[in-house]
Amino acid sequence: MFGKRDVIVHGTDPYNAETERAALAAGPITATSAFYVRNHGEVPEAGSAWRLRVDGLVERPLDLSLATLREALPEYEVTATLQCAGNRRAGLIAIRDIPGEAPWGPGATGTATWTGARLADVLKLAGPRAGAAHVGFEGADLSPEAKPPQHFGGSIPLGKAERPEVLLAWAMNGEPLEPVHGAPLRVVVPGYIGARSVKWLNRIEVRAHPWKGYFQDVVYRLLPPEGAPASGAGMPLGLVALNADILSATATEVRGYAFAGGERFVTRVDVSTDGGATWTQAELLDDLGPWAWRHWRAPLDLPPGEHELVVRAWDSSAATQPDDEAGLWNPKGYVNNARPRATLEVPRRS
Amino acid sequence: MFGKRDVIVHGTDPYNAETERAALAAGPITATSAFYVRNHGEVPEAGSAWRLRVDGLVERPLDLSLATLREALPEYEVTATLQCAGNRRAGLIAIRDIPGEAPWGPGATGTATWTGARLADVLKLAGPRAGAAHVGFEGADLSPEAKPPQHFGGSIPLGKAERPEVLLAWAMNGEPLEPVHGAPLRVVVPGYIGARSVKWLNRIEVRAHPWKGYFQDVVYRLLPPEGAPASGAGMPLGLVALNADILSATATEVRGYAFAGGERFVTRVDVSTDGGATWTQAELLDDLGPWAWRHWRAPLDLPPGEHELVVRAWDSSAATQPDDEAGLWNPKGYVNNARPRATLEVPRRS
């Protein structure tokens, strides 16, 4: 479906699929064909009539064709990791079931090079008015998860929207954006949960307050364990929390990714083979800039038998990950950023 | 000494003292008389000959008197929490001794309202040249901890230095800055470890690379447990990591502080009386803006007997604190941001 391969499909209506570990491990840039997809509705048709409207608290409302957008504004490239708030939910479900939510493993994340115009440049054209504090995005996809159905949407603070790394992207990894990834135009908000990188973008609304639509006001929020989804309940998700996972492990090597989120970066990754009593520093691989994860590797020399690996990443504030999933369980299954663990059976050499 | 009261003195030569819990608990603004002091040398004399030099990668080197600085530039106020990287070191020492480092409790932090000029405005006067990427600060204090002795110093990235919240401050809580807090002029870098808020500032150097002085290149760095201080060893500290502590606890109420560091803010604080199996949300008290901690309180209803309280704060990326100190031990005893615990004996009602 949608030309995808090397993915684990979590649903077909709407289509949802995560990248397999081996495809994530293949390199720091994730192949577009294997890049995860988190949809809340059917992939909309992007006809030739597509327009981008910019309205709300602006001096000059805009109504632009893609051709105008591409001709009027300079083009930029940003390499950025996207990560769904539900990445690694399977670890929370293992603690206690989360009915109605897909058991995403470590592949609801990926890194691509995005090409497009700066949102900041579009905002400059429109001219935010006094009171502007947030920038909302609305996609063309209609989600039946909201009652009545709503277009997917969300907002980010104006301060972030004006930063140079936030793009309105029409290309991904050097190819025109594919329909399943948001063609003809999507937002890319580096450092924020994937839900803010709204696909099939057809409206930008400059606002005084955060987006009140279902997917920001009810869905993508961290509830306390005993909480229930409701308008404004729990804390809104936005910045990605420091996270990591293990992508492959053998007797001689362990590899994985780590991502700091927000404006932070990964400073260190530690690996333990004795349950966290002692740690070895992993080697951080390719540095793709401030908005991308780091792949890492550590050599191992494990004797035959069963081993449990534990990994912890550190960010540029010298903060590290919480120990385990038990204390992180929440009713929607978001932000599992516990230290990843893997059990490894090393066979006897014969 | 220095008119301090409600402090625990860790040393007199140089003078080092932390705020007592009760004084921290008194309110979200810390009294100047009780505000912590972390010095690496004798408090220098600030004579009438004091000047601020601005040099390095600038178009126009400056040499300013305090009167010129105050007359030429607009004055701003920022309420900001400062926190020493060694705050809560006592919890790490309890795991394994750290010779030569003071056993700071939870009072190597405090919040004040600072008044001064924006560093950004001074930098604009000087005009950073091509290649400028960091801004270094040098104090008048001479520290014998470096061999040979060095002036205390440190740097922050130019991007942070140009933000409006970074001040060159001459007043604290509405009074002229006291000598022990850096008079006549100190830097205040909200969200960063206290070591970057250099006191007795007499030189700003715009640089291509981070500060190479002893206190940034050797001292204030997070080493792995088996590491040893050396030039460039470990990761440089900068942003404060999410942290919290308990300031008072009775059978009916627990209170404390939480601080997110960097550009993040505290979104939730949880309290557990059953070792972390279940949690209750604390009430977040006065919001003093994006650069200050949050005090918090939670009602309790504890029966007679011994109780262990555990607290965890969450930041705006939905990240929470690591579970305990054992895994955070490091040779210099920095960044103990483990979940705080307190043992409480509730007497039998007679």
- Secondary structure percentages of chain A, helix, strand, coil, to 5: 15, 40, 50
User: Which residues constitute the domain of residue A134?
Assistant: 7-236
Q: Quote the mean pLDDT of chain A.
A: 97
* Chain B residues whose beta carbon lies within 8 Å of the beta carbon of residue A235: 267-268, 314, 316, 318
Is residue B131 in some structural domain?
Answer: yes
Co-location of B220 and B256 in the same domain: no
Q: Is residue B214 part of a domain?
A: yes
pLDDT reported for residue B47: 78
Same structural domain, B167 and B311: no
The answer on B337 and B273 residing in a single domain is yes
pTM exceeds cut of 0.90: yes
Q: For residue A120, which of A157, A156, A180, A160 has the smallest C-alpha distance?
A: A160
Residues B182 and B325 occupy one common structural domain: no
pLDDT tens digit string along A207-263? 999 999 999 999 999 999 999 999 999 999 999 999 999 999 999 999 999 999 999
What pLDDT does residue A46 have? 77
Q: Does A260 touch chain B (CB under 8 A)?
A: no
- CB contact burial A35-64 (16+ within 10 A = b; e otherwise): bbbbbbbebbebeeebebebebbbeeebeb
Per-residue pLDDT tens over the stretch A150-207: 999 999 999 999 999 999 999 999 999 999 999 999 999 999 999 999 999 999 999 9
Q: Answer whether A312 sits within 8 Å of B327, measured CB to CB.
A: yes
CATH code of residue B127? 3.90.420.10
Nearest residue, CB atoms, A320 vs list B237, B239, B322: B322
| pLDDT score at B253 | 98
Q: Give long-range contacts, CB 8 A cutoff, 24+ apart: B73-76.
A: B73/B117, B73/B118, B73/B121, B73/B122, B73/B125, B74/B117, B74/B118, B74/B121, B75/B115, B75/B116, B75/B117, B76/B115, B76/B116, B76/B117, B76/B118, B76/B164, B76/B167
- Show the DSSP H helices in B86-199 as ranges: 89-93, 119-126, 158-161
The model's confidence at residue B350, banded by pLDDT at 50, 70 and 90, is: low
Average pLDDT over residues B24-40: 98
**Nearest CB to B319: which of A224, A279, A337?**
A337
My answer on whether A19 and A135 are in the same domain is yes
Whether residue B300 is contained in a domain is answered as yes
pLDDT tens for B34-63 read 999 999 999 998 778 899 999 999 999 999
Q: What is the pLDDT of residues B207-259, one digit of tens each?
A: 999 999 999 999 999 999 999 999 999 999 999 999 999 999 999 999 999 99
The tally of domains found in chain B comes to 2
Residue after which a domain boundary falls, among A208, A236, A264: A236
Pair B228, B270 in one domain: no
pLDDT band at residue B162 using 50, 70 and 90 as cut-offs: very high
Residue B316's alpha-carbon distances to A238, A320, B287, in angstroms, are: 7, 15, 14
Residue A2 lies in a domain: no
| Least Cα separation, residue B222 to chain A (angstroms) | 7
Interface predicted TM-score (ipTM):
0.95
A299-308: average pLDDT:
97
Contacts of A276 in chain B (CB under 8 A): 327
Average pLDDT over residues A312-337: 97
Q: Does A221 touch chain B (CB under 8 A)?
A: no
Nearest Cα of chain A lies from the Cα of B310 at a distance, in angstroms, of 12
Beta-carbon contacts of residue B97 (< 8 Å; ≥ 6 apart): none
Query: Would the pLDDT of A87 be above 80?
Result: yes
Same domain, B189 and B270: no
Residue A1 lies in a domain: no
Asked if A137 and A226 sit in the same domain, the reply is: yes
Q: Chain A interface, mutation test: which of B317, B320, B335, most A Cβ atoms within 10 Å? A: B317
Residue B127 has pLDDT above 80, yes or no: yes
Q: Where among B202, B236, B270 does a domain terminate?
A: B236
| pLDDT interval class at B282 (50, 70, 90) | very high
With an 8 Å Cβ cutoff, are B319 and A320 in contact?
A: no
- Whether residues B100 and B172 share a domain: the answer is yes
Do B12 and B38 share a domain, yes or no? yes
Q: What are the structure tokens assigned to A236, written together?
A: 């809104």
Residue range A9-17: mean pLDDT, rounded: 97
Comparing CB atoms, the residue among A279, A319, A335 nearest residue B224 is A279
CA-to-CA dists, residue B110 to B61, B216, B237, angstroms: 34, 22, 19
Residue B260 forms contact with A (CB below 8 Å)? no
Domain C-terminal end among A236, A261, A291 = A236
Nearest to A281 among B224, B319, B337 (CB): B224
Measured in angstroms, the CA of A175 and the nearest CA of chain B are apart by 32
Same domain, B224 and B265: no
Q: Are residue B217 and residue B71 in the same domain, yes or no?
A: yes
Domain assignment of residue B1, yes or no: no
Task: Summarize pLDDT for A317-328 with one digit per residue, the tens.
Answer: 999 999 999 999
Per the structure block, which two tokens stand in for B257? 């502080």
| pLDDT computed for residue A350 by the predictor | 66
Tell me what pLDDT residue A276 has: 92
